């Protein structure tokens, strides 16, 4: 583990993989004890996770103490983008592993004391397949799907949608240029994730962000599910 600029970096090695369910249970117990609400954000690469997090950190920094763990195969580019917003940021470099595991989150917590946080946001590696199989100990799994990915993503990757508490359609500003049928995308999300809340927003223009922040505040204060 090393500190670079304003964030920490954890390099994944063998010891941080495996025994996922045990690590996830331990993480969850620690989160509960500390009263930290935890989000696991998953999506394809390029769906807009990091931009949405940048906006969220800037908007909520005065009211919540936020920690971020961001997983990538290589580079600490995302941690660099996210640092400077008053949050504690840890980059997990997975060295080729295409998902985060609970042991990696536990390791990152060594440089992120839970007693100093209200909300922990974990940005998973961009991948709609195997992150579905790895509980990290989170309270809520959020799937982002951008309008530029087309209407049928939820039907092609049903497992990750089925396990989500929340689905966020991103890049609303690109509906026109992408020529996407937004209504069809909504219907496909509903079909794949009938249990989930659905948000639509554009982190670029700000459309829908107020509702997103309000939802996070309610979720954090234990009123998740209240829409
Ligand atoms: Mg990212
Ligand atoms: Zn994987």
Measured in Å, residue 177 CA sits from the centre of ligand 2 at 32
Q: What proportion of the chain, given as a percentage, has pLDDT over 90?
A: 89
Q: Quick one: which ligand is closest to 131's CA?
A: 2
Distance 157 CA to ligand 2 centre (A): 14
Stronger pLDDT, 15 or 180, i.e. the higher one:
180
pLDDT of amino acid 222: 80
pLDDT confidence of residue 227: 42
Closest-CA residue to 52 (of 41, 62, 44, 61): 41
Let me know how long the chain is.
227
Q: Helices 209-218 and 49-60, interaxial angle, to 10°?
A: 70
The residue that leads in pLDDT, 16 or 213, is 213
Reduced to 3 states, what is the DSSP secondary structure of residue 56?
helix
**Cα(93) to centroid(ligand 2), Å:** 13
pLDDT of 22 > 90? The answer is yes
Interior/surface letters 174-195, b for 16+ CB within 10 angstroms, e for the rest: bbeeeebeeeebbebbeebbee
Phi and psi torsions of 23, nearest 5°: -60, -40
Residue with tokens 């063998």: 14
Distance from residue 70's CA to the centre of ligand 1 (Å): 7
If you average pLDDT over residues 11-16, what whole number do you get? 89
- Helical spans, DSSP H, in the chain: 20-34, 49-60, 77-82, 102-108, 153-156, 158-162, 175-178, 182-192, 209-218
How many angstroms separate the alpha carbon of residue 133 from the centre of ligand 2?
A: 9
Instruction: For Cα atoms 26, 66, 165, give the angle at the middle one, nearest 5 degrees.
Output: 65
Q: Which ligand is nearest to the CA of 129?
A: 2
pLDDT single digits (tens) 123-177: 999 999 999 999 999 999 999 999 999 999 999 999 999 999 999 999 999 999 9
List beta partners, residue 71: 92
Q: What is the mean pLDDT of residues 34-38?
A: 96
Please, what is the Cα angle at 177 between 171 and 183, to 5 degrees? 65
Give the model's pLDDT for residue 15: 86
pLDDT of 224 higher than 70: no
CA-CA distance, 37 to 39, in Å (whole number)? 7
Mean pLDDT confidence for 110-131: 95
User: What are 168's two structure tokens?
Assistant: 């966020």
Question: Given this model, what pLDDT does residue 195 score?
Answer: 96
> What is the reported pLDDT for 158?
96
Spatial CA neighbour of 135 closest among 170, 171, 101: 101
pLDDT number for residue 226: 41
Given the structure tokens 């042991």, which residue do they identify? 103
CA angle centred on 189, ends 210 and 94, rounded to 5°: 80
The mean of the pLDDT values for the chain is 94
Cα(77) to centroid(ligand 1), Å:
8
Q: Give residue 1 CA to ligand 1 midpoint distance, Å.
A: 20
């Amino acid at each position: 583990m090393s500190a670079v600029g304003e964030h920490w970096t954890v390099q994944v090695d063998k010891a941080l993989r495996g025994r996922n369910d045990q690590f996830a249970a331990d993480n969850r117990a620690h989160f509960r004890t500390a009263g930290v609400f935890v989000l696991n954000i998953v999506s394809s690469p390029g769906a807009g996770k990091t931009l949405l997090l940048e906006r969220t950190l800037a908007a909520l920094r005065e009211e919540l103490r936020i920690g971020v763990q961001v997983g990538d195969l290589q580079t600490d580019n995302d941690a660099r983008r996210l640092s400077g917003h008053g949050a504690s940021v840890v980059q997990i470099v997975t060295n080729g592993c295409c998902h985060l595991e609970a042991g990696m989150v536990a390791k990152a917590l060594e440089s992120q004391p839970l007693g100093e946080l209200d909300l922990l946001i974990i940005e998973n590696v961009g991948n709609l397949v195997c992150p579905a199989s790895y509980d990290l100990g989170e309270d809520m799994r959020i799937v982002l799907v951008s309008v530029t990915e087309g209407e049928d993503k939820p039907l092609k990757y049903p497992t990750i949608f089925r396990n989500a508490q929340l689905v966020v359609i991103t890049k609303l500003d690109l509906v026109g240029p992408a020529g996407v049928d937004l209504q069809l995308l909504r219907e496909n999300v509903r079909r794949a994730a009938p249990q989930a809340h659905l948000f639509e927003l554009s982190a670029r223009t700000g459309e829908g962000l107020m509702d997103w922040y309000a939802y996070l505040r309610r979720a954090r204060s234990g009123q998740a599910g209240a829409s």
